[in-house]
Structure 1
């Protein structure tokens, strides 16, 4: 492999950023001054490639971009070929390998923010900003209930962030020029219109507890479920969760208890637990709200899941666009570790488990399990064909259980209430409750918790849908559009809800341009590994752009092309990104007659 690092040297800041993560170099082979001892021993071989992405993030946080010298120094410290590290750095949209200002202002231009005027906001902000700020038109920032949204990151020690949402020209410019002077974000409960209502299971503590206080969390029933889990034993926990009937909430709908039983089966391989809190799908923000408003619940839920499968190490993978959620989860993990709720002897029961927080770098495709594993291991976040399930062979080749935040937190009421009581909620096939992220043309956007089997009409009624409603997108960018007269068909875990994203659009929103934005999103987020997705997403975006620019004239040929490309992507793409990239466009053409 290529271990030629080149002649570029890191700056003092770049070297300090890497050393703060890895510790100072111990030999010439790692970047220290040469000594006689280095001439008498070979280069140490250490398997630390999994620290590549954290190292890149550390450099980016300190300096704002990844220089050749910084990349070479990080590669020397980790014994990673620079060519491969360059591939990782250029794969993630968060990084730049070219010089740019230390302050980056990211303005969301995804679906809801576009409908709320993000394009005009970008133009106006760009005219006001000087050369000291880099403006990026960003995919979804997970702040859809406050669209349009902007996020400022100012590199340095420490890195500083600021959120402007709903963003105005003045607010975004102020945040970019002085992140420390930007107004504080509203509390997490403002994103939960049902705060204080009876019957909530997953959102019951959001707004009721201090998210920074472990004592307050325990006073509101926290760690009751973990004590119940220890009483049941690992196999008993898995059986209880399986008997309650919940499925994974991330879109695959595979029973959680069955995943745990499979991951716990191999006796000679210690499994891992991974919480995928990346949540980078347009319109999705439920995981962010849970982590901001009830962070200790996720720590407890991860501990229970790890106990059930026999894991001693868990990875919590967070989005780079969630600075407040990241801060609160770090605090919650540290507090739990200090109080004996994580570490070598959890609750004095002789069980060891700890959580490592990993930040992502903005790749939507890392929502797919194998792509996420690659990213954690220090490779490009590309999915790959895997004959075995992650429960058999996952992260670092070991059995792995992967869940999102909602799935894990949903385990707590099962154990706290008991499976029979929990099973009384919802429908026969879809037990319990589900969270929905409602945004767009509604009066009260936010995260809603409804019993499984509720209808979109009930959900939108609670959110205050506007009278001039034209279309509703169920399941986000990978879902499908429905008409206002199709909202009485119930949601179900195995049916229409998908990722729980519900976006409403009234007749003021130009749907053809919205579909073009969806196509642009999939084109940008495709990892490019398989041809059907790599080529198909580009062809889809080109065809939709031609239709929009011609205002729908002579669109028949392009629609026929879209259908052919869509079928090819659905049938032959390697992962769900390509397989579902045509869904929303197809539904808009067939159900809404957008180009008719």
Structure 2
């Protein structure tokens, strides 16, 4: 058996140089080993990452110059200790991947083959049990498949959390000769890359889930809607579709079952609103991506007026596991009302940024501090935003809240597709609300007035506050306007758009008051309200801030001093100071 070197080929590790590492392996190619680019291994913070099998040996921060020594030690059955991840508490090297704290509290269902297969190899996927769920499904009656999905309690992972089985039941019962099944890969949340990593890393798990769903509801045509900014995901999906056709998992008479089904990729132009179901369908039809009123459900009249199932990438990726292992085993994971696992992108001011998959019900604290390793530079934790631009900011007093659909909604946030942005005391919550409001203004389709006009007025008030021109009555205006937009907007984008504002007003109201009453930004973010200075008692005169200043506003003649006339309040000095000597 050849030694396998599984090298992460996802964008994070590519940015750190994994392509150069791969090329070095290729230059030294020998018969006793093989190297493969895989999907995301998750631990983006320490890339490029590499798994060596047999043994599941985990190396991090691998450089091309390390490759000869990696090969030599592997050939001798040894490990290269200097590339092993050191446990942050014990400082002991973690040899196997499951010894690394980042992985220890994860449970992988959706990502179970990510990092273990080459994205462009259907044979790799088959070797790990790929398409076994489909084989089993084709021996069952469609009603039995739908019942199994209902029993599993699987809820849509796109953000709404609607029961997947109920959606499938409705379309199964619909009286129509033509039905469609759609996969929503239009991931547009800032800081989110869950669906891209699945489509790019293990495209066959998405196809298998779609084929099972199509057989269950009686659809013969499916579409995967992928934003054009994901060219590698599109390429891997297209290759997977072609290989699936060649193996008779797609096309006519699939696996001699008399079932016909095929999949087409539709590339979106990057409009955030096209993640909304009716806007996505209009876009596939070649129309402007605008949402429709929801008095008619897609299960009755969806794509081209026909009964349609629309689920997101992660939802479909759960389906093969459920069919293969059964609903009861799946329900043992997670909570009663939110079974299974959830994939998150853990980003922001957390040490271990990356792609993770955890059981529903795990607490925010365990995700941020156990898996995530805590806050960068050990600064105080301030908030975590879940749910993307339409989510809310959750403060430290709720760190022990379980992560599930209903608990997050109760806090004024939402699960969303899986973005999780961690913030520290250097993040201004007023600016966070302004940033996401501005993002949603640009992404609004403009069809309904509450969203189109209301968000502009929200942004105007927030900009006024961050520039030190806010008035006490602005807080009441923000609350009333936010509530009105949420109540009266046409689609989910508008209805959830005020969440960042309303949640920050709910939990960080004192910051708004500080901006308005004292003309002060306690986080040192709002430039009009911030003046950076040097605490001479803490300053070690290391010169890091002097070198980092882009406008040469900091001088070092004995003491380090900031020239306030030159300073542009960019915060670079604070970012590089390891002694908290930059104050404001």
What TM-score, normalized by structure 2, do the two folds share? 0.69
Report 1:489-508 matches (<5 A).
489-496=401-408, 497-499=414-416, 500-508=418-426
CA distance in 1, matches of 2:180, 2:240: 20
Q: In structure 2, what is the Cα distance between the partners aligned to 1:586 and 1:572? A: 16
Shift of 1:188: 3.3
Alignment: residue pair count: 419
Match of 1:580 among 496, 514, 533: 496
The DSSP-based 3-state class of the residue aligned with 1:403 is strand
2:86 corresponds to: none
Sort the Cα spacing of 1:282 and 1:429 in 2 relative to 1 into closer, same or farther, 3 A: same
Q: Aligned to 2:373, which of 464, 477, 487?
A: 464
Return the offset for 1:331. 0.6
Counterparts of 1:292-307 in structure 2 under 5 Å? 292-307=200-215
Q: CA deviation at 1:329?
A: 0.5
Alpha-carbon separation, structure 1, partners of 2:503 and 2:308: 35
Pairing 1:571–2:487 present: yes
Question: Deviations 1:190-244 (Å, cap 9, x if unpaired)?
Answer: 4357976684211110111111111110000101100111112211110111111
Equivalent position to 1:383, from 282, 285, 291 = 291
Query: Offset at 1:514?
Result: 2.6
Determine the C-alpha separation between the residues in 1 that align with 2:487 and 2:180: 32
Distance 1:578 1:166 in 2: 38
Question: Could you report, residue by residue, the CA deviation over 1:248-276 in whole angstroms, capped at 9, with x for unpaired residues?
Answer: 11122111111111111123332100101
Match of 2:166 in 1: 258
How far, CA to CA, are the matches of 2:123 and 2:14 in structure 1? 31
Q: Measured at CA, do residues 190 and 336 of structure 1 come closer, stay the same or move farther in structure 2, by a change above 3 Å?
A: same
DSSP-derived class of the 2:480 partner:
helix
> What is the distance in 2 between the residues matched to 1:516 and 1:395?
35
Q: Provide the secondary structure at the position in 1 that maps to 2:238.
A: helix
Deviations 1:498-546 (A, max 9, x none): 1122110122334333322111111111111111111001111111111
Other-structure match for 2:358: 450
2:199 aligned partner: 291
- SS where residue 516 of structure 1 aligns? helix
Match of 2:337 among 429, 452, 473: 429
SS at match of 2:512: coil
Give CA deviations for 1:106-132 in whole Å, capped at 9, x if unaligned: xxxxxxxxxxxxxxxxxxxxxxxxxxx
Measured against aligned partners, the alpha-carbon deviations of 1:364-392 in whole angstroms (never above 9, x if no partner) come to 11111111111111111011113221111
Aligned-partner Cα distance in 2 for 1:520–1:348: 53
CA RMSD in angstroms comes to 2.3
Matched, 1:317 2:235: no
Give the corresponding residue for 1:43: none
- Structure 1 residue corresponding to 2:40, chosen from 183, 186, 189: 189
Choose which of 240, 247, 270 in structure 1 pairs with 2:155.
247
Partner SS state of residue 502, structure 1: strand
Contact 1:145 1:191 in 2 (8 A): no
1:575 & 1:287 partners in 2: Cα distance? 22
Query: CA offsets, 1:395-440, max 9 Å, x none?
Result: 0000000000011111111111111211111122221111122110
* Partner SS for 2:260: coil
Query: Does residue 528 in structure 1 map to residue 436 in structure 2?
Result: no
Cα 1:513–1:164 change in 2 (3 A) is farther
Contact 1:526–1:537 (8 Å) recurs in 2: no
Task: Give yes or no for contact 2:432–2:500 (8 Å, CA) kept in 1.
Answer: no
Task: Within 5 Å, give how 1:84-103 maps onto structure 2.
Answer: none
| Structure 1 Cα separation of the partners of residues 294 and 334 of structure 2 | 34
Structure 2 unmatched runs, 5+: 1-8, 18-36, 45-57, 59-96, 409-413, 514-584
Matched, 1:545 2:463: yes
Matched, 1:478 2:390: yes
- The alignment status of 1:415 with 2:415, answered yes or no, reads no
If the length of structure 1 is used for normalisation, what is the TM-score?
0.67
Name the residue aligned to 2:78.
Answer: none
Task: Indicate if the aligned counterparts of 2:107 and 2:357 stay in contact, CA closer than 8 A.
Answer: no
Q: Shift of the alpha carbon at 1:187?
A: 5.4
Q: Secondary structure at the match of 2:296?
A: coil
Assess, with a 3 A threshold, how the Cα gap between structure 1 residues 241 and 425 changes in structure 2: closer, same or farther: same
For the residues of structure 2 that align with 1:285 and 1:259, how far apart are their CA atoms? 26
Partner residue, 1:509? 427
Aligned to 2:543: none
- Residues 148-169 of structure 1 deviation map (CA, whole Å, 9 limit, x = unaligned): xxxxxxxxxxxxxxx99589xx
Of the two, which has the highest radius of gyration? 2
| Cα distance change on mapping 1:515 and 1:145 into 2, 3 Å | farther
104, 121, 142: which is aligned to 1:234? 142
Deviations 1:320-367 (A, max 9, x none): 111111110011011111221110121121110000000000111111
1:172 matched residue in structure 2: none
- Deviant stretches of 4+, over 4 Å: 143-146, 163-167, 192-199
